[in-house]
Amino acid sequence: MGCLHLSSTFLSFLFLISLLSEVNPASFKIVNRCRHTIWPGFLSGANTPQLPTTGFVLNPGKSRTVTIPRSWSGRLWGRALCGQDSSGKFVCLSGDCGSGQIECSGSGAKPPATLAEFTLNGDGGLDFYDVSLVDGYNLPMLVVAKGGKGGNCSATGCLLDLNGACPPQLRGDGGVGCRSACEAFGDPQYCCSGAFGTPDVCHPSVFSLFFKHACPRAYSYAYDDVTSTYTCAGADYVIIFCPPPYSR
């Protein structure tokens, strides 16, 4: 009977923790340290709660906090060099989501784009997060976990301005952004697709190593999990674009 009582008490405790995780959502503070305006965009994963916003303007030196459900998964990125085209649609030369408006409304970033990716309250109640250059690079970004426990809760990101140092073969249209080798060449060996669709046969390339050497904590290619995925529990997050001392 004692074991049964302990077991039911433990289950009740886990249920309470689960409820609290939904009652107390996470906060994502988005900070613009760039010298120019950016337009952060959000894309929610499949079967995950939608957010109160999927895109907004953020002037230099400003920040905005977005409330995020603890069961959310998805990604965010920064758009830049944005305005209205001749037809009145909102477009961006960097990180455009193709919605034609400031809100991305379920559309993701057009590569190249630096991505912050999150799965909150995943396996073991941990948040999983990373900064990915798998789709290329457009802006420096830092992700900092605040107030969490469990996991490593380490900061991650890509702090360097890679646009100027980008290999010529990877430079985006008009010199905007730095493409991944997959985007630039479409070769399965760079995309980890087809016959190269497993980690046993898809290895870092000279191009992914360019990203990895510059930003060792960021994802540089599809199977870069070991050195690029971070965990925390119950944290809030600060996402800084153009973090000091880098501002552009």
pLDDT of residue 70: 96
Per DSSP, the residues of the chain read -HHHHHHHHHHHHHHHHHHHHHHS-EEEEEEE-SSS-BEEEEEEPTTSPPPS-SB--B-TT-EEEEEE-TT-EEEEEEEEEEEE-TTS-EEEEES--SSSSSS-TT--PPSS--EEEEETT-GGG-EEEEEE-TT-BSS-EEEEEES-EEE----EEE-S--TTT--GGGB-GGG-SB--HHHHH--HHHHT-GGG-STTT----HHHHHHHHH-TTSB-STT--TTT-EEEES-EEEEEES-TT---
Q: What is the pLDDT of residue 150?
A: 83
pTM score, whole prediction: 0.88
**Structural domain containing residue 136:** 24-160+217-241
With residue 93 as reference, give the H or E element that holds it.
Answer: strand 90-94
**Model confidence at 6: pLDDT above 50:** no
Q: What CATH number has the domain bearing residue 66? A: 2.60.110.10
pLDDT of residue 19: 45
The pLDDT-based confidence of 4 (bands split at 50, 70, 90) is: very low
Query: Is position 130 within any domain?
Result: yes
| pLDDT tens by residue, 83-98 | 999 999 999 999 999 9
Domain assignment of residue 103, yes or no: yes
**Cα distance between residue 39 and residue 123, in whole Å:** 31
User: Does any domain span residue 193?
Assistant: no
**Per-residue pLDDT reduced to its tens digit, 22-75:** 558 999 999 999 999 999 999 999 999 989 999 999 999 999 999 999 999 999
Residue pair 26/68 in contact by the 8 Å Cβ criterion: yes
Q: Is the pLDDT of residue 113 over 80?
A: yes
Average pLDDT over residues 169-182: 92
Number of structural domains in the chain: 1
Distance, CA of 195 to chain centre: 27
- Predicted pLDDT at 11: 46
* Residue 51 counted as domain residue: yes
pLDDT higher than 50, residue 18 = no
